[in-house]
Amino acid sequence: MRSNRIGMKLGLIIAAIFFIVLLFLGVSLYQMFSSFYHSEMKTEITEMTSHVSTMAETTEASSEEMMLTFADFSNVSMFYINAAGDITFHTGEHNPADRTFIRKEDLKQIFSGNAINLEHEDPLGHRYMVIGQPIYKDHQITSAIYVMASMQSMDKSLTAIRNLLILSGVGAFLLAMGITWIMALLFSRPLIMMQKATKKIAVGELETRLDIHSKDEIGDLAAAINNLAADLQRYRDTRQEFFANISHELRTPITYLEGYAKVVKNHMYETEEEKDRYLDIIYQEGVRIQHLVDDLFELAKMEEGKISLSMEWIDLRYVIHQSVQKVSLKAKEKGLELVVHPTKSVPFIRGDGMRLEQIALNLLENAIRYTDEGRIDVYLHHSSTMLTLSIQDTGIGIPDDELPYIFDRFYRVEKSRSRQTGGTGLGLSIVKKLVKLQGGSIHVTSRVGKGTCVSVQFVLPMMQEDQ
């Protein structure tokens, strides 16, 4: 029953409301009937008493016979009572020994000209309605007449009505309970399903989905839970993949470090040059690990939104000049021609100088790394709305089907070749995030064996303000 708590609560509340309403209705109806019957009976007996007392006043004293017939006929008991309280005449079923209904104060009332009425219960438990009226003779009250009618049949009718009311009340209550129960089940079932689903999601069963498609708040909530589960699943998968990549990337240089350090330590080399070569490898791998760790920190900071940019007005020509100077030695070593195409002044953009240089350096290093011969051209041009930096090389190019993935973390087109040249596959994903953070966009076009062109575009701020 624990799993159906909402249903229980809903059911109990509705049951309590129904119970109170039905009880109130039943009691009111019963009282209405009861007072109706009482007043009907009282009117009838009062009329009868008046009738009898009039008869007794107008006819001779020898009306006892007539009274007897009347009492028999109307099924009532009659008593003539004198001022002293003695019964002078009695007719009807009621035992005259039971005189408790004759009370002094009532007689006083009657002999002072008023009528009285009361309800009386005899020793056997039978209930009677008693009406008392004065009898006048020559304008003097000579005696009192009491007419006593059994309330048995009225009580019977009222009991029948009460039973009927109780029966229909119980029936209505049970019916309402049944309907409430079904409704509570219908309402609580999706909630219970959601509760179970969220519990499963909480313990890591992220494939859990809810099959609730109603177009109401419950349906919306179920859809939100499904989305949450899907997001968590995606997050878990990418995180797992991310950690797998990191450990893979770290394991390789560490193996080199271990291997070559061991060779040097155990003097397993023949010449000093050989030893230097091994030490050089150790140094290179150390640098590679350093880069990897730096890049990972950078990415983590960006993904958590913790990176802070110091935005200022930047002349992109100056940034490019700085970056080209830094990589020109590398290009020269590979025999590549690195040409920056002169541009007249370009509009300034809002950006972080250091980060813009990081973008340019990454792209230039890629161009140099993946170009064996030929040239690298750097263009900077602008339209009325955009400033575009393009870096074009004559390198190995990127196959079309790989293009969509080059911005993914750790993605390298030619795994073995990149390893030789030292790439970890993090550069472009960092570049893309940095470009986005500064409001720009990045596009790559490439042809295998011909070369690659990477363009970074920034919307010009003046135009943004104008819009």
The option from ligand ATP, Mg ion, none interacting with 426 (CB < 5 to 8 A, set by class) reads ligand ATP
Residue 406 binds: one of Mg ion, ligand ATP, none (C-beta under 5 to 8 A by kind): ligand ATP
Q: How far is CA 247 from CA 240, 296, 405, in A?
A: 11, 12, 20
Q: Which does 393 bind (CB under 5 to 8 A by kind): Mg ion, ligand ATP, none?
A: ligand ATP
Q: Element (H or E) spanning 459, and its range?
A: strand 451-459
Q: At closest approach, how far in Å is the CB of 405 from ligand ATP? A: 9
Among residues 113 and 404, whose Cβ is nearest to ligand ATP? 404
Q: Tally Cβ neighbours within 10 Å of residue 445.
A: 15
AA identity, residue 450: K
Q: Which does 222 bind (CB under 5 to 8 A by kind): Mg ion, ligand ATP, none?
A: none
Position with the least CB separation from Mg ion: 427
Picked from ligand ATP, Mg ion, none, the partner binding residue 432 (CB below 5 to 8 A depending on kind) is: none
Residue 418 contact among ligand ATP, Mg ion, none, beta carbon within 5 to 8 Å by kind: ligand ATP
Q: Which among ligand ATP, Mg ion, none contacts residue 390 (Cβ within 5 to 8 A by kind)?
A: none
The residue count of the chain comes to: 467
- Minimum CB–partner distance for residue 283 and ligand ATP (Å): 17
Query: Which residue, 10 or 435, is less far from Mg ion as judged by CB?
Result: 435
Inter-residue long-range contacts of 190-195, CB under 8 Å, 24+ positions, other chains counted: 190/214, 190/218, 190/222, 191/6, 191/218, 192/3, 192/4, 192/6, 193/222, 194/221, 194/222, 194/225
- Closest distance of CB 437 from ligand ATP, Å: 17
Cβ-based burial of 305 (10 A; exposed 0-12, middle 13-18, buried ≥19) = exposed
Two tokens, residue 364: 């230039």
β-pairing, 349-351 vs 312-314, is antiparallel
Number of chain residues interacting with Mg ion (CB under 5 A)? 2
How near is the Cβ of 387 to Mg ion at its closest, in Å?
A: 23
Angle at 160 (CA atoms; ends 154, 162), nearest 5 degrees: 100
Min dist. Cβ of residue 459 to Mg ion (A): 25
Question: With respect to ligand ATP, which residue has the nearer C-beta, 289 or 426?
Answer: 426
Rg (Cα) of the chain, in Å, rounded?
Answer: 54
Nearest distance, CB of residue 195 and ligand ATP, angstroms: 44
92 lies in the binding site for Mg ion (CB under 5 A): no
Answer whether 378's CB lies under 8 Å from 342's CB: no
Residue nearer to Mg ion on the CB measure, 169 or 427: 427
Q: How far is the C-alpha of 194 from the C-alpha of 192, rounded, in Å? A: 5
Nearest to 457 by CA among 467, 446, 445, 442: 442
8 Å CB contact between 188 and 6: yes
Q: Which is nearer to ligand ATP, 377 or 393 (CB)?
A: 393
Taking the C-alpha atoms of residue 383 and residue 389, their distance in angstroms, rounded to an integer, is 12
User: Nearest distance from residue 239's CB to ligand ATP, in Å?
Assistant: 19
Which is nearer to Mg ion, 134 or 427 (by Cβ)? 427
Going by the DSSP 8-state scheme, the letter that residue 341 receives in this structure is P
Backbone torsions φ then ψ of 73, nearest 5 degrees: -60, -40
Q: Which is nearer to ligand ATP, 77 or 429 (CB)?
A: 429
Rounded least distance, CB 350 to ligand ATP, Å = 25
Q: Cα(234)–Cα(249) distance, rounded to whole angstroms? A: 22
Q: Which is nearer to ligand ATP, 212 or 406 (CB)?
A: 406
Nearer to Mg ion, 352 or 365 (CB): 365
Residue 427 CB, nearest distance to Mg ion (Å)? 3
The residue type of 323 is S
Between 131 and 364, whose beta carbon lies closer to Mg ion? 364
Q: For residue 5, what are the contacts with CB-CB under 8 A and spacing of at least 6?
A: 188
Q: How many alpha carbons fall within 13 Å on the CB side of residue 385?
A: 5
236: amino acid identity, one letter: R
Residue 370: which of Mg ion, ligand ATP, none does it interact with, CB under 5 to 8 A by kind? ligand ATP
Minimum distance of ligand ATP from residue 250's CB (angstroms): 14
Q: How far is the CB of 291 from ligand ATP (least distance, A)?
A: 7
Question: Which residue lies nearer to ligand ATP by CB, 229 or 430?
Answer: 430
Under the rule (CB under 6 A), what is the footprint of ligand ATP? 366-367, 370, 393, 395-398, 406, 411-414, 418, 423-429, 452
Binding to Mg ion (CB under 5 A) within 399-458 occurs at 427
d(CA 166, CA 192): 37
Contact positions with Mg ion (CB under 5 A) in 316-375: 366
Residue type, 239: R
Q: Which of ligand ATP, Mg ion, none interacts with 387 (beta carbon under 5 to 8 A by kind)?
A: none
Q: Which residues bind Mg ion (CB under 5 A)?
A: 366, 427
